[in-house]
């Protein structure tokens, strides 16, 4: 047994102190937000550190749903997230499947066609995309924010990666039995790539749930608003930008809480897919 | 005859492959390739939604170069972008090295889980949280300051703090994510290297310096590349956290494009700036690829 030196002990203490400080800078703001969201209107303005509400109250949430009427944007967001994620998963996995096929006429050009867009940041084409959406008559519809961004090279390549890990012998015997490409894809490849499907589903869920830029560009009437754009005017409202009628801090924090809860829920239940996806993403990009 | 039959079967199969990839290709044509070309065209026009758009040559580009506002946001973008590139590459690396020395696994896993979390949140959430925490009366920071008898500061209304806040909050949001990248590549390091070093009597600091850090260089390159490609794209954070007081210090190129293009409807001018930024991004990316000798 090696003797643990004094400097080693010191390092151990300092290291853990740094990590505790780091974890606290992440947790304390979130606890503060959560606590303030459950205070009364009056208490939410007090300048004391709140990690627990003194007298728990749902005043903030009541205001959020009644006066601010967040329910509509919330439901719109649920709709856009579910439909958008579903389309994303099906379209990207179909494309990923085609990329693992051995050379066929036009394959090279198709590979380029679906990979080059990775080099083109969406932020840099917002003006022409805005014009396209306008010409397609999709302006101020939930379809606009559902469709724009529905396909990503990242997910196509991630699915291709997963499909490549499936033994070729399975599809060969299916083809001998007379199955077509679509049968092989839907019956053999999709069911065997569940981990891949889970990964892109979760990632796209987060992306769609958090979508802001497309909503800023395409939505202009409150009944079409999705969550982030509705929350933006609520949580950012400060004395400097007095565009909205003022609401108490508890309501603003309640808005943040309802936007966070679905994300935390997904994160807790699907953490292993996040780590997997991050790694593949970094290697691929 | 058998040959023709198999050829027909072959075409049928290929047709199905085309059908499977069609939605993705169609999407990219409509929402990426066409807009890229259209944006390029519009940048040479005095674009109008109704009626004919006039071709104006390089006028939009020349106007951009002669507009002080353009150079101001250009400078802001470079300052914020460069700081983000460097800080969110090296600080998470330092954190990963510290986390790697933690022996107690549940605590290690817990802290990883927590520091990754802000990466999931949208900029509206993160911006909202920090605007509240930095607010003059009920904000956490100012309450802490008042404990020490210091006066309250309205952080979000001070030009001198604006950039630091933007960079710091970005670091808060992204560092956990980058840290996980490093931790995963540390996990992939061959343990024999450490065992050999231990036999040679190297302490944990020396092992980190001579084994872990060099092994992390390839991950560092990827992180730097991703950061560089994202540097000029900053939009959401600024859109959420800006206000008129601090705007001169933090308005960035993409916000400028959005504002000129879709708030003031100078679409040709905004497109010209998009094209400029796009070209610069491409050049920086290619240079970075060469510098770090990254193999795709």
- Among B17, B30, B125, whose Cβ lies nearest the Cβ of A98? B17
DSSP B118: G
Name the residue with tokens 């970005």.
Answer: B170
Confidence of residue A282 (pLDDT cuts 50, 70, 90): low
Shared domain check, A255 and A115: no
* Predicted pLDDT at B102: 85
Which ipTM did the prediction report? 0.90
Residues whose CB falls within 8 Å of the CB of residue B16, separated by 6 or more in sequence, listed in order: A180, A181, A182
CA distance A79 to B65: 44
CA distance A166 to A186: 14
Contacting residues of A for B230, CB less than 8 Å apart: 121
B116 lies within 8 A of chain A by CB: yes
- Among A19, A49, A126, whose Cβ lies nearest the Cβ of B102? A19
B67 exposure class (CB count in 10 Å sphere: 0-12, 13-18, 19+) = middle
Chain B segment 150-179 residues within 8 A of A by beta carbon are 156-157, 172, 176-177
What CATH number labels B69-291?
1.10.3720.10
- Among A26, A28, A29, whose Cβ lies nearest the Cβ of B115? A26
Average pLDDT over residues A21-43: 91
Shared domain check, A158 and A17: no
Measured at the alpha carbon of residue B67, what is the angle toward residues B63 and B71, in degrees to the nearest 5?
120
Grouping H, G, I as helix, E, B as strand and the rest as coil, residue A122 is helix
B90 lies within 8 A of chain A by CB: no
Q: Is residue A186 part of a domain?
A: no
The CATH code of the domain that includes A209 is: 1.10.3720.10
User: What is the number of CB-based contacts under 8 A between chain A and chain B?
Assistant: 266
Contacting residues of B for A115, CB less than 8 Å apart: none
Shared domain check, A56 and A7: yes
Joined together, the tokens standing for residue B106 give 């549940």
CB contact at 8 A, B48 and B56? no
- pLDDT digit string (tens) for chain B, length 296 residues: 556 667 777 777 889 999 999 999 999 999 999 999 999 999 999 888 777 778 888 999 999 999 999 999 999 999 999 999 999 999 999 999 999 888 888 888 888 889 999 999 999 999 999 999 998 878 899 988 888 988 888 998 899 999 999 999 999 999 999 998 898 888 888 888 888 888 887 777 778 888 888 888 888 988 888 888 888 999 999 999 999 899 999 999 999 999 999 888 899 999 999 999 999 998 988 888 888 775 54
Q: How far is B218 from chain A (nearest CA, A)?
A: 10
* Predicted pLDDT at B109: 86
Confidence of residue A243 (pLDDT cuts 50, 70, 90): very low
* Predicted pLDDT at A4: 66
Closest CA to A196 of A104, A284, A263, A71: A284
Confidence of residue A1 (pLDDT cuts 50, 70, 90): very low
Shared domain check, A160 and A247: no
Shared domain check, A215 and A88: yes
CA distance A74 to A94: 30
B117 lies within 8 A of chain A by CB: yes
Measured between CA atoms, the residue of chain A closest to residue B35 is A128
Measured between CA atoms, the residue of chain A closest to residue B141 is A49
For residue A76, the enclosing domain spans 70-166+193-226
* Predicted pLDDT at B162: 94
Chain B segment 43-72 residues within 8 A of A by beta carbon are 49
Confidence of residue A31 (pLDDT cuts 50, 70, 90): very high
CA distance A103 to A105: 7
Phi and psi at residue B55, to the nearest 5°: -80, 125
Confidence of residue A285 (pLDDT cuts 50, 70, 90): very low
Shared domain check, A63 and A77: no
Per-residue pLDDT of B146-166, as tens digits, reads 889 888 889 988 999 999 999
Shared domain check, A154 and A27: no
* Predicted pLDDT at B191: 80
B239 lies within 8 A of chain A by CB: yes
Grouping H, G, I as helix, E, B as strand and the rest as coil, residue B121 is coil
Shared domain check, A215 and A78: yes
How many structural domains compose chain A?
2
């Amino acid at each position: 047994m090696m003797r643990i030196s004094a400097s080693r002990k010191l390092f151990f203490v300092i290291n853990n102190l740094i990590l505790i400080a780091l974890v606290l800078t992440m947790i304390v703001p979130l606890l503060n937000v959560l606590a303030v969201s459950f205070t009364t209107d009056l208490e939410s303005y007090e300048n004391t550190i709140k990690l627990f509400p003194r007298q728990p109250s749902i005043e903030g949430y009541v205001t959020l749903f009644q006066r601010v009427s967040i329910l509509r944007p919330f439901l719109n967001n649920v709709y856009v997230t579910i439909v958008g994620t579903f389309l994303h998963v099906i379209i990207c996995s179909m494309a990923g499947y085609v990329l693992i096929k051995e050379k066929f006429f036009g394959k090279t050009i198709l590979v380029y066609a679906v990979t080059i867009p990775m080099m083109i940041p969406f932020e840099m084409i917002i003006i022409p995309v805005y014009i396209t959406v306008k010409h397609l008559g999709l302006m101020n519809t939930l379809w606009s924010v559902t469709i724009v961004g529905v396909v990503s090279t990242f997910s196509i390549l991630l699915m291709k990666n997963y499909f490549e890990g499936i033994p070729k012998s399975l599809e060969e015997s299916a083809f001998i039995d007379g199955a077509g490409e679509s049968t092989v894809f839907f019956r053999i490849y999709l069911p065997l790539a569940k981990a891949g499907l889970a990964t892109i589903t979760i990632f796209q869920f987060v992306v769609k749930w958090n979508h802001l830029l497309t909503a800023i560009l395409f939505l202009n009437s409150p009944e079409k608003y999705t969550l982030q754009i509705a929350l933006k005017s609520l949580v950012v409202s400060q004395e400097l930008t007095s565009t909205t009628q003022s609401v108490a801090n508890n309501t603003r924090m309640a808005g943040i809480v309802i936007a966070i809860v679905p994300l935390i829920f997904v994160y807790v239940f699907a953490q292993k897919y996040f780590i997997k996806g991050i790694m593949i993403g970094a290697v691929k990009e | 005859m058998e040959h023709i039959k198999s050829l027909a079967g072959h075409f049928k199969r290929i047709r199905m492959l085309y059908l499977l990839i069609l939605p993705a290709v169609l999407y990219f044509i409509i929402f990426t390739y066409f807009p890229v070309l259209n944006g390029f065209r519009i940048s040479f026009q005095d674009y109008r939604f109704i009626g004919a758009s006039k071709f104006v040559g390089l006028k939009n580009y020349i106007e951009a170069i002669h507009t002080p506002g353009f150079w101001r946001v250009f400078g802001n973008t470079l300052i914020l972008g460069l700081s983000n590139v460097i800080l969110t590459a090296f600080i998470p690396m330092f954190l990963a090295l510290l986390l790697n020395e933690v022996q107690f696994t549940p605590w290690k896993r817990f802290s990883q889980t927590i520091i990754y979390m802000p990466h999931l949140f949208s900029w509206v959430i993160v911006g909202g949280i920090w605007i509240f925490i930095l607010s003059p009366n009920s904000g956490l920071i100012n309450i802490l300051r008042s404990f020490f008898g210091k006066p309250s500061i309205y952080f979000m209304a001070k030009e001198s703090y604006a950039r630091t806040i933007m960079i710091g909050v970005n670091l808060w949001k992204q560092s956990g994510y980058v840290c996980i990248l490093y931790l995963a590549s540390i996990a992939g390091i061959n343990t024999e290297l450490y065992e050999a070093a231990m036999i040679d009597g190297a302490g944990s600091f020396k092992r980190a310096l001579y084994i872990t850090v060099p092994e992390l260089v390839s991950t560092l390159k990827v992180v730097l590349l991703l950061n560089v490609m994202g540097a000029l794209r900053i939009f959401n954070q600024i859109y959420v956290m800006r206000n008129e007081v601090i705007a001169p210090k933090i308005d960035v190129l993409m916000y400028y494009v959005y504002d000129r293009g879709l708030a003031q409807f100078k679409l040709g001018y905004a497109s010209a700036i998009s094209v400029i930024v796009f070209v610069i991004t491409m050049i920086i990316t290619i240079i970075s690829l060469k510098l770090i000798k990254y193999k795709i």
